């Protein structure tokens, strides 16, 4: 079975590696080894490899930049399908761009700026890939993917299928793809004409704000909890006196309480225990139950809501 998979991957120009430490593939720098990793260069390769994985019932983890993941200390038993970020976005017409889902959001937003297209400035500092951003409708500074996404290409077995954004049920940090599990391999965006200098100035402004307010000096998975309706997660956590609270090398950031950071050698277990403590404390003191924004891979660990 594995020979058929690796043989097809080789034929399509994919990279293949075994026992890859997930700590090297995620922005949290946490996680044990994955059994097999295949790096996919394009939609055609992704469709072919996915079809074989599905036919052979391989467990799959689709990975871009690994910026919103916390991987178990025991790793991932299955195949990591990593989307390459080597291809360039393409301009389709006066207002539309398309790209492979492995392209990073900073690269995409910079490409749009150089093309004189506005709408993706909010994404210039988000360290993830297009595929993951579509999956969770990523956003920042008042913008999100739903504002600019026109359509996506997803995989169903070995078939690439185009789907309008209107059918994805995009909401706050949500799309229906989270339930269907269908991976995004390409996306098309509809933007607006703008002045490249003005777009660049706005991107510089947002990147400066991000550096000043977020703990970029330490590995993290970005905002750890979703924003509760009517509140801000970071403010609630700080209100409960949890800024700087740590379990091992996992710490509620002293700079921004909405982040859990890895101060050096934090494990998934450290982060798990810290997140559980934060949730219980905030629920006890404010009545608000925080929900994780970060996806955990490898085990089920959040406590019951009661």
Instruction: Compute the distance between CA of residue 135 and CA of residue 50 in angstroms, rounded to an integer.
Output: 17
C-alpha angle with apex 228: 211 to 142, nearest 5 degrees? Answer: 45
pLDDT tens-place string over residues 70-127: 999 999 999 999 999 988 999 999 999 999 999 999 999 999 999 999 999 999 999 9
CB atoms within 10 A of CB 157: 14
Backbone angles phi, psi at 100, to 5 degrees: -70, 145
**Residue 223 designated active-site:** yes
The pLDDT score that the predictor gives to residue 8 is 85
Task: Give residue limits of the domains in the chain.
Answer: 2-83, 90-211, 215-297
253 has pLDDT over 80: yes
Identify the active-site residue in 67, 84, 223, 253. Answer: 223
8 Å CB contact between 117 and 194? yes
Nearest CA to 83 out of 28, 170, 153, 178 is that of: 153
303 has pLDDT over 70: no
Average pLDDT for 208-222: 95
pLDDT tens-place string over residues 3-33: 788 888 999 999 999 999 999 999 999 999 9
**Residue 220 designated active-site:** no
What is the chain's mean pLDDT, rounded? 94
- Read off the pLDDT band of 298 (50, 70, 90): confident
**Residue 56 designated active-site:** no
DSSP states along 64-123:
SS-TTEEE-TT-EEEEEEEEP--SPPEE-SSSEEEEETTSBHHHHHHHHHHTTEES-GGG
Q: Which fold has domain 2-83?
A: 3.30.43
Identify the active-site residue in 60, 173, 227, 279. Answer: 173
258 has pLDDT over 60: yes
Percent of the chain with pLDDT over 70: 97
CB atoms within 10 A of CB 140: 18
Q: Which fold has domain 215-297?
A: 3.90.78
Q: Which fold has domain 90-211?
A: 3.30.465
Q: What tokens does 255 get?
A: 């700079």
């Amino acid at each position: 079975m594995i020979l058929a998979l690796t043989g097809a991957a080789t034929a399509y120009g994919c990279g293949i590696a075994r026992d890859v430490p997930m700590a090297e593939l995620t922005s949290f720098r946490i996680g044990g080894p994955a059994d097999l990793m295949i790096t996919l260069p394009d939609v055609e390769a992704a469709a072919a490899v996915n079809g074989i994985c599905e036919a052979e019932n391989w467990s799959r983890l689709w990975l871009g930049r690994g910026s919103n993941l916390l991987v178990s200390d025991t790793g991932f038993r299955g195949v990591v399908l990593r989307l390459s970020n080597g291809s360039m976005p393409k301009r389709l017409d006066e207002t539309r761009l398309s790209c492979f889902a492995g392209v990073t959001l900073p690269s995409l937003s910079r490409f749009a700026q150089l093309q004189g297209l506005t709408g993706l400035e909010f994404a210039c500092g988000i360290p993830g890939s297009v595929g993951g951003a579509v999956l969770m409708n990523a956003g920042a500074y008042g913008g999100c993917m739903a504002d600019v996404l026109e359509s996506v290409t997803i995989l169903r077995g070995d078939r690439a299928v185009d789907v309008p954004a209107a059918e994805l049920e995009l909401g706050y940090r949500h799309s229906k793809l989270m339930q269907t599990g269908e991976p995004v391999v390409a996306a098309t965006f509809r933007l607006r004409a703008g002045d490249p200098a003005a777009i660049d100035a706005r991107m510089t402004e947002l990147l400066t704000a991000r550096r000043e307010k977020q703990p970029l000096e330490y590995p993290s998975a970005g905002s750890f909890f979703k924003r509760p309706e009517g509140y801000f997660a970071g403010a609630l956590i700080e209100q409960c006196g949890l800024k700087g609270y740590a379990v091992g090398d996992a710490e509620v950031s002293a700079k921004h309480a909405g982040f859990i950071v890895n101060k050096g050698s934090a494990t998934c277990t450290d982060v798990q225990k810290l997140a559980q403590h934060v949730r219980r404390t905030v629920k006890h003191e404010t009545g608000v139950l925080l929900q994780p924004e970060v996806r955990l891979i490898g085990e089920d660990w959040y406590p019951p809501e009661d």
